[in-house]
Amino acid sequence: MRARRPFVAGNWKMNTTLKSATELAAGLAKLLPQDIPGVEVAVCPPAPYLIPVAAAIAGSGVKLGAQNCHSSKDAGAFTGEVALNMLQDVGCEYVILGHSERRSLFGETDAVVNAKVLAALGKGIKVILCVGEQLSERQANQTNAVLETQMAGSLANVAGDQLGNLVLAYEPVWAIGTGLTASPEQAESAHVFLRQWVANRYNPQIAETLRILYGGSVKGDNAKLLLGQPNIDGALVGGASLKVDQFWPIVAAGIEVGNG
Ligand code: PGA
C-alpha cells in the first residue's frame, strides 16, 4: 500500500447537462459503491448540478467537490458568487482553487487564490490547489520560478497544520485540454520541486504526507505511467472525466498504484 493514498478528481468544468451529470455520477457510484483504501475519488460538477450529483453519489465511494468559491466567510451581497457555506450545505468536501482557467480567464491573482484558500480551509472545506507554468515560461526555463511564486503567493499565511486539508495539483498550462501531456519525467521533476518547496517552507514531514496530483491531458492510456512516478499521487482530470468509460481506467490506475 502506498503511503500517500492516490487521489483521482474529475474537473467537469462548464460541461454536462442535468441529465448527463446525474448519469455520469451514478455510473461512477456504481463502480465505486463504497470508499476503498486504495484510492480516493471525487467529482467536481458545475455549481447547478452539485445537488443532483450529491444525491447520485450518496453512500458511495465518490466524493463531491466544487470548482470555485467566494472568499467571503459569510453569505452576503456578492451577486453571482457561491459561498463556502453553501458548498458545505450541499455536501462538498473539496473545492478546486487556482485553476489556470480561473487565473487566465477570470483574472485570479495569487492574492485572490490565497484569500479563497484561507477561507476554504478556515471553513473546513478541503482545497485542491492548482499551480503550473505556461509553455513560454517552460521554454524560458522559468518553470521552477513560476511554481515558486504561485506557491508562495497562494499559500501565504497558510499554517502547516492546515496542509493536511490541502491537495496540490501540478497542471502545466500547455498540457491542459491540448492532448499534450507532460512526460512522466517532466511531471515527476516538477512534483519533486514542489515537494521540496513545501519541505523548506514548512517541514519535511508535511512535505512527505502532502499529495501532489498531476493534471493536463491525463487519459486511461497514460495514467498508469504518470501515477506510477514516486511523487505523483493522483490526477486532476478534465476532458477524460466526462465519460465513465474514460474516467474509470484512470481511477483503476490509481487503485493499482495505491495497492502496489
Ligand atoms: P484536461 O484538464 O484533463 O482536459 O487536460 C485538466 C484540468 O484542467 O484540470
239 alpha carbon – ligand 1 mean position (Å): 6
191 is catalytic: no
Domain assignment of residue 71, yes or no: yes
Report whether 150 contacts 170 (CB < 8 A): no
pLDDT of residue 1: 86
Q: Which residues line ligand 1 (CB under 6 A)?
A: 11, 171, 176-177, 215-218, 236-240
Report whether 212 contacts 129 (CB < 8 A): no
For the record, the C-alpha cell of 211 comes out as 499529495
pLDDT of residue 179: 87
Q: With H, G, I as helix, E, B as strand and everything else as coil, classify residue 47.
A: helix
Report whether 154 contacts 113 (CB < 8 A): yes
Integer-rounded Cα Rg, in Å, for the chain is 17
Q: Which atom of ligand 1 is nearest to the CA of 217?
A: 5
* Closest listed residue to residue 160, CA positions, set 102, 199, 120, 193: 199
Domain assignment of residue 100, yes or no: yes
Domain assignment of residue 2, yes or no: no
Domain assignment of residue 225, yes or no: yes
CATH number of domain containing 43: 3.20.20.70
Report whether 58 contacts 26 (CB < 8 A): no
pLDDT of residue 45: 98
Read off the DSSP letter of residue 169.
Answer: E
For the record, the C-alpha cell of 11 comes out as 474537473
Consecutive 10-residue averages of pLDDT for the chain (260 residues)? 95 98 98 96 98 98 98 95 98 98 97 98 98 96 98 98 98 93 96 98 98 97 97 98 98 94
179 alpha carbon – ligand 1 mean position (Å): 9
Strands (E), the chain: 7-11, 40-44, 62-66, 94-97, 126-131, 166-170, 212-215, 234-237
pLDDT of residue 40: 98
Give the range of the structural domain holding residue 103, as residue numbers without chain letter: 7-259
Domain assignment of residue 165, yes or no: yes
Q: With H, G, I as helix, E, B as strand and everything else as coil, classify residue 188.
A: helix
Residues 6+ apart with CB under 8 A from 230: 188
Q: Which atom of ligand 1 is nearest to the CA of 100?
A: 8
170 alpha carbon – ligand 1 mean position (Å): 11
Q: Number of structural domains, the chain?
A: 1
